[in-house]
Amino acid sequence: MAIKLPIYLDYHATTPMDRRVLDEMLPYFTEDFGNAASRTHAFGWKAESAVGVARERIAKMINADKPEEIIFTSGATESDNLALKGIAEFYGDKGKHIITSRIEHKAILDSGKRLEKMGFEVTYLDVDKQGFVDPAHVRAAIRPDTILCSVMLANNEVGTVQPIREIGAVCREKGVLFHTDAVQGIGRIEFDVQSMNVDLASITAHKMYGPKGVGALYVRRSKPRVRLVSQMDGGGHERGYRSGTLNVPGIVGFGKAAEIITHEWRDEAARVSRLRDSLYKKITAELDEVFVNGPWPAIDSSGKVLRLPNNLNISFAYVEGESILMSLKNVSVSSGSACTSASLEPSYVLRALGVEEELAHTSIRFGLGRFTTEEEIEYAANLTVSSIKRLRDLSPLYEMAKEGIDLKSIAWTAH
Amino acid sequence: MAYSDKVIEHYENPRNVGTLDKNDDHVGTGLVGAPACGDVMRLQIRVNDDGVIEDAKFKTFGCGSAIASSSLATEWIKGKTLDEAAEIKNETIAKELNLPPVKIHCSVLAEDAIKSAIDDFRKKQASRREGNT
């Protein structure tokens, strides 16, 4: 079978929409275009009812108690902002301390920075070499004035699946609200707000085969009842938590995407995980000095999932990431190299894991997904191997390393 | 990042990739940059008795622009005298390759690599002369 190029292996960034999602959305752009807040006519009722169905499907996907616990937003960045700032504003009289980790998404880290300017104190927990937050560190960081702890379900760069259940249990025991940015984990690993003691969770449709521009914040309504102050003033939509006309077609698509995931995620995770493992095997069979960033093996001896099934983040020693991307021109992946970031700094996530800068510059992230095929993985693996071999022939560092020169012994001219 | 056609052309068909014997008296080696910064260039020249660069080789760890800058540098210095080669400026390399502002440091590194190789060669010659007297 001829494969279609370029191949998309950047499913952590975004996912293509599932055709079934699109089909369900389409009528809501044209015939059923009503405003879900219009209470006076059938157009509004129809839109409101469609939003209700979506809310139920999303609540079911994460095992929320009630559909009303789902607050629609424009995406996970807004959800993260609303969670941190909304909680801080509501509970600020009770305490001004928040706990999070160093490898959170920028929407969390930068919300934390903003809150610090407003007089809050934020503890950024270190992670271990595989990217894990230790629940014991969470416990140790909790103080009488701690109001919130936010730790992501799974990391977008290295795929580390956090011990959310354990962290949730610590927070519940200590009476601290617990938020998780669940974006990368939804549809790829188990996520259950009840058994994991999650009080708030950010999710987004476009990372789960739904449309861009729509997300949600789960806000627990009982045991404990979580309150927050809205960050968007206006017509009082979403029970006053988030004003703004609802994106009805987007929400309908989000709901359909959630329904598909509820039914299909386990099979999909197993299939994608096999493809990821075969990519790893093909690459490591042909190349020396490659290092996986993040947990590996992906599943521990007890069967616990340590790494997202669709993630493979590898450092190819002695070849720079951007030059690898250039060589993999028909394979769409991303790199932790400084050259590919707007800041010209290597990935803060890799640095937090203690990956040396030399190796951070050589990292490539492969993100697989629902539509990835065996043929695509075969192609990507072969192209990766030939590209790395070619670039190593061009690399003075590889030649020196092969001659037995200790690269650390050289007085490099940092620039 | 969109690359200029010239960067892509050099990246895909780099000129003068290779290694000269760094212990050869006629060879000067420049090794600049740092792995932690994401680019390292090694540029080598072989200089004949007339002071003309008769061969140049490079190997580069770095992005496509760094590879292209060093490839272009070897192409330009071949056949030049040491003094002529030392005149090559990073701006000229950057202009030839249409490097965007964030990639100017790649051309700076290439200029440094040329100068460093020339220095290395001249030091070798100087110490050889000292050895002879």
Q: Concatenated DSSP letters for A154-180?
A: B-TTT-BB--HHHHHHHHHHHT-EEEE
Cα dihedral angle (A181, A366, A395, B111), rounded to 10 degrees?
-50
Rounded distance between C-alpha atoms, residue A402 and residue A318, angstroms: 11
Q: Find residues 279-338 of chain A whose CB sits inside 8 Å of chain B.
A: 318-323, 326, 337-338
- The pLDDT value given to residue A272: 98
**CA angle centred on A152, ends A265 and A100, rounded to 5°:** 170
- The pLDDT value given to residue A341: 62
- The pLDDT value given to residue A342: 61
- Single-letter code of the amino acid located at A102: R
SS3 A219: strand
Fold (topology level) of A19-259: Aspartate Aminotransferase; domain 2 (3.40.640)
Model pTM score = 0.94
Q: H or E segment at A303?
A: none
* Segment B78-81 long-range contacts (CB within 8 Å, at least 24 positions apart): B78/B16, B78/B53, B78/B54, B79/B52, B79/B53, B79/B54, B80/B52, B80/B53, B81/B50, B81/B51, B81/B52, B81/B53
Cβ(A392)–Cβ(A385) under 8 Å?
no
Cβ contact, residue pair A396, B60, below 8 Å: yes
Residue of B nearest to A336 (CA): B38
The distance of B63 to chain A (nearest Cα, Å) reads 4
B77 touches chain A (CB under 8 A): no
- The pLDDT value given to residue A2: 79
Chain A contacts of B31, Cβ < 8 Å?
A: 396, 410
Domain boundaries, chain A: 7-12+264-402, 19-259
Rounded distance between C-alpha atoms, residue A413 and residue A339, angstroms: 18
Q: How far is CA A332 from the centre of its chain?
A: 18
Rounded distance between C-alpha atoms, residue B71 and residue B12, angstroms: 11
A401 touches chain B (CB under 8 A): no
Mutation site, B4, B9, B15, B40, interface A, largest A CB count within 10 A: B40
B39 touches chain A (CB under 8 A): yes
Rounded distance between C-alpha atoms, residue A313 and residue A329, angstroms: 18
B64 touches chain A (CB under 8 A): yes
The partner residue sitting opposite B35, judged by closest CB among A393, A397, A399, is: A397
Mean pLDDT of chain A: 96
- The pLDDT value given to residue A166: 98
> Within 13 Å and on the Cβ side, how many CA atoms surround A12?
23
- The pLDDT value given to residue A344: 64
SS3 A85: helix
Q: Which residue has the tokens 């490898």?
A: A103
Please say if the pLDDT value at position B75 is more than 80: yes
Rounded distance between C-alpha atoms, residue A116 and residue A85, angstroms: 11
In degrees and rounded to multiples of 5, residue A336 shows phi and psi of -90, 5
CA nearest neighbour of A132 among A151, A108, A105: A151
Query: Could you read off the pLDDT of A194-231 as tens digits, one per residue?
Result: 999 999 999 999 999 999 999 999 999 999 999 999 99
- Single-letter code of the amino acid located at A61: M
- The pLDDT value given to residue A100: 98
Q: H or E segment at B130?
A: helix B104-132
**Does this chain's domain A7-12+264-402 share its CATH topology with A19-259?**
no
> Is residue A149 annotated as a catalytic residue, yes or no?
no
Cβ contact, residue pair A358, B35, below 8 Å: yes
Residue of B nearest to A411 (CA): B34
For residue A297, whether the previous peptide bond is cis, meaning omega lies within 30 degrees of 0, is yes
For CA atoms A263, A266, A271, A276, the dihedral sign is positive
**Chain pair A-B, CB pairs under 8 angstroms:** 88
- The pLDDT value given to residue B3: 87
The partner residue sitting opposite A326, judged by closest CB among B36, B38, B64, is: B64
Rounded distance between C-alpha atoms, residue A123 and residue A258, angstroms: 33
Residues of B marked as catalytic: 37, 106
**CA angle centred on B102, ends A110 and B83, rounded to 5°:** 150
Rounded distance between C-alpha atoms, residue A273 and residue A267, angstroms: 10
Cβ contact, residue pair A412, B35, below 8 Å: yes
The partner residue sitting opposite B59, judged by closest CB among A337, A399, A414, is: A399
The partner residue sitting opposite B61, judged by closest CB among A318, A346, A414, is: A318
Cβ(B17)–Cβ(B58) under 8 Å?
yes
The distance of B37 to chain A (nearest Cα, Å) reads 7
Chain B contacts of A387, Cβ < 8 Å?
A: none
Cβ contact, residue pair A412, B109, below 8 Å: no
ipTM over 0.90? The verdict is: yes
Query: Could you read off the pLDDT of A330-361 as tens digits, one per residue?
Result: 999 999 876 666 666 789 999 999 999 999 99
Which segments of chain A have a pLDDT < 70? Answer: 1, 338-344, 414-415
Structure-token pair, residue A120 = 């809050």
Chain A contacts of B37, Cβ < 8 Å?
A: 338, 357, 412, 414-415
In this structure, how many other beta carbons lie within 10 angstroms of the beta carbon of residue A278?
14
Query: Could you read off the pLDDT of B76-119 as tens digits, one per residue?
Result: 999 999 999 999 999 999 999 999 998 999 999 999 999 999 99
**CA angle centred on A409, ends A406 and A411, rounded to 5°:** 135
Residue of A nearest to B35 (CA): A358
- Single-letter code of the amino acid located at A332: S
Domain A7-12+264-402 has CATH 3.40.50.620: no
